Amino acid sequence: MTESNRISVIIPCVDEEDNLKELIPYLVKHGGGLVSEIILVDGGSIDNSISLANSFGARVLHSSVRNRANQLNLGAQSAKGNVFYFVHADTRPIRDFAQVILTNMAEGKQVGCFRYKFDIENRLLKFNSWFTRFNGVLSGGGDQSLFIKKTFFDSLGGFDESFCIMEDFELVRRIRQNSDFHVLPEEMTVSSRKYIENSWVKVQLANLTAFSLFLLKVKPSRIKSLYLNFLNKRTKSITVVE
């Protein structure tokens, strides 16, 4: 593997054993030999996430802080590849994700994400996912994953760890100030569990509230508090890394 073909996949995690037993083998199988390592950054799981990751050959790091921005930065600091690919545990990248990323980087795209579709057939969720094709202010959320050159990521200082929510959009905002951002046409798959456990209306209200307050530069802790008010207890525990 040449230096230009080293991709480090970084996954933040808290209690995601059901997803990891599918995701990690999937990444290994479809990485096409272009993925040099899979790093799981755990924020204090009490299920079998860690043992599962170890059994599948992933490298496990333990974050002292249960905060996605901190976890992602910890993974990036330890990663050996010169391309980082940040992936949420409850998503499934496209099958040839590694080759597509490297091909686009060879064309000069040093940072970007993918469109997505949900894992169930639902008209309202199709409506939501349709908007992920656009490269606008709402693009770049963590469910779309993020690929970025290590050198560029380092120059930005990584994720802002003062953000306990919206850390993905905050980083993309800084990316746009320094580079073009790209939304690739391929569609990855995203879990619908948050919508199933709540309702489409509740999740839409939660997302709208969080994004509006983010644009108004409200403190992340306040955004998070208001966001979580819309979600039920189980959803809070499995979908939000504090």
Q: Give the rounded distance of the alpha carbon of 59 from its chain centre.
A: 18
Half-sphere exposure (Cβ direction) of 99: Cα atoms closer than 13 Å: 8
What per-residue confidence (pLDDT) applies to 237? Answer: 44
pLDDT tens digits for 151-187? 999 999 999 999 999 999 999 999 999 999 999 999 9
The token pair that represents 109 in the structure block: 């795209």
- Residue 241 in this model has a pLDDT that exceeds 70: no
| Cα–Cα distance, 159 to 175 (Å, whole number) | 11
| Cα–Cα distance, 171 to 157 (Å, whole number) | 9
State the amino acid at position 33 in one-letter form: G
Structural domains of the chain, ranges and CATH numbers in brackets: 3-191 (3.90.550.10)
Q: Which residues contact 64 (CB under 8 A, 6 or more apart)?
A: none
Tell me the β-bridge partners of 182: 112
